[in-house]
Chains A and B, each alone.
Chain A
């Protein structure tokens, strides 16, 4: 039997019996993805686009109901663009730029994010996680229709696995009973309570934060401006914080900090939740309560994200506090990092050792995310009187002086990690070039008149040549630009600095592998080999 652990918002992959369930011997799949959340589905789409066959097993038949992620950052949208569904996300999502911070009953400052210009995508959008997942699955369906080798099996729960030298043997339960299959590689995208992690007896260490938060999603058509509001110690939630954010469909997320010693059941009573909401938005504003829940959080990580032929990605590998929106955003970047590597190894373009770099790069990113989200949690939930003293001192000063504003930490929004020190980086051939584009960094977008730089990149390696001659090498896509393409000057600013010309080697996940002042075919060939993990491929 497959237990139903949660209600679904959209039923996207109803259970269907497949012949494999009756097969005499288990069938072998190149990649099996366990878990069809945002991370598993992003990975499936990426692999499918690359023509690498993959099978997604999820123990439910659609997207879970209820409120989780709402903030999706620019890098995630750029990845979605590469995967084919960025436009859909942005069309549905809500963009905001103004934030207001309150203390007690007064506004202590407001900010306008004024995002850097020249990027196709906004700094982030607000979009309910069920939509994000739905749009990924819809894109998978579109790609399947034109031959992408992705299969999704709903109500297929993985109940056991064994690692062998050349494959992973997987036990699956379904409404029609159990069956077995095999995978060359298995990716556990099975969430924070990862059953795969438990089956393998692997640790998930870290810190539990002693605090509860109440989410109330409400629908109201009051014409509140589309702004993010954050309160410290407001009259309607004394001694705690509160947050208000706009989502699509006239839905607003209210998030109330409740403290540690609370009566969860009493706090969840609809009357009590509605009273809190009314005290926040005004007693005369009509609203419907769409969803409410209480969550606690922890910041944890596995030691290693690769165990032989099994990989962990997303919440199964690492969990963060929601402050800074680094959970789903970080997880989608795991998928972004792993997809091209699995494809390269399975197609024979790279040797197996390339896969070790997945752990190295994404663990580094996860530690950055955990550090950032823990610091935000420490600001919101001071652990000692001394911590509270400095938090309050920051808030005192903010009202008097601008300098203290950056010290207010209600979450540092998810930004991609620069993989400094990665074994895949080629030593910097342009050391005085812009630091934001050093090897290991995610490529920055630039407006090029009627298109944008990132959308010109391919899904394999890309050679970006600016202001000098270059030729295509080893099948990698060549994007050749000249100063004439750079009306805004942003291309020079982000990629050249003081140099007159530069050549960049961009990885399939649009991180920068190498850069040089000038083109040399042999150097590029060697660099591509190194960025594929070296070794004898």
Chain B
């Protein structure tokens, strides 16, 4: 099983982060939510690994289940 990467793995993270914020500029609450949901689904498909995604969903929760991930 592939482990979810939780160490630094993204080059140009400032650029991507800024692009994410810009995408939400001018959107109302509902539109922002919808954009996030679409983005999650697109990324899920791109990652294409159910095990990694389940770990990611756990890691994102308010209370990460796996101690290693904390």
Contact = CB atoms under 8 A, between A and B. Distances in A.
A389 B41 contact: no
A65 interface: no
Contacts, number: 25
B37 interface: yes
B53 to A, nearest CB: 13
Interface of A is mostly: helix
Nearest to A404: B41
Instruction: Please tell me the size bucket of the interface on A.
Output: 10 to 19
Interface in B12-57: 33-34, 37-38, 40-42, 45
A404 B38 CA distance: 10
A389 B45 contact: no
25 contacts: A389-B33, A389-B34, A389-B37, A390-B37, A390-B40, A390-B41, A392-B34, A392-B37, A393-B34, A393-B37, A393-B38, A393-B40, A393-B41, A394-B41, A396-B34, A396-B38, A397-B38, A397-B41, A397-B42, A401-B42, A403-B42, A403-B45, A404-B41, A404-B45, A407-B41
Contacts of A404: 41, 45
Contacts of A401: 42
Contacts of B37: 389-390, 392-393
Q: 5 smallest A-B Cβ distances: which pairs?
A: A393-B37, A403-B45, A393-B38, A389-B37, A390-B37
Interface residues of B, number: 8
Nearest to A406: B45
Contacts of A390: 37, 40-41
Contacts of A392: 34, 37
Interface in A237-274: none
B60 to A, nearest CB: 13
Interface string A377-390: 00000000000011
Contacts of B34: 389, 392-393, 396
Nearest to A394: B41
Given A389-B33, A392-B37, A396-B34, 12 more contacts: A389-B37, A390-B37, A393-B38, A393-B40, A394-B41, A397-B38, A397-B41, A397-B42, A401-B42, A403-B42, A404-B41, A404-B45
Contacts of A397: 38, 41-42
Interface string A399-415: 00101100100000000
Contacts of B38: 393, 396-397
Contacts of A389: 33-34, 37
Nearest to A392: B34
Contacts of A394: 41
A425 to B, nearest CB: 25
A102 B1 CA distance: 38
B22 to A, nearest CB: 20
A393 to B, nearest CB: 4
B27 to A, nearest CB: 14
A404 B34 CA distance: 15
B54 to A, nearest CB: 16
B58 to A, nearest CB: 17
Question: Which of B37, B40, B42 lies at the interface centre, i.e. has the most chain A CB atoms within 10 A of its CB?
Answer: B37
Contacts of B40: 390, 393
A392 to B, nearest CB: 7
A476 B53 CA distance: 47
B23 to A, nearest CB: 14
A389 B39 CA distance: 12
Contacts of B33: 389
A536 B13 CA distance: 68
A199 B10 CA distance: 63
B13 to A, nearest CB: 24
A396 B41 CA distance: 11
A71 to B, nearest CB: 28
A389 B33 CA distance: 7
A397 B36 CA distance: 12
Interface in A432-452: none
A401 B45 CA distance: 11
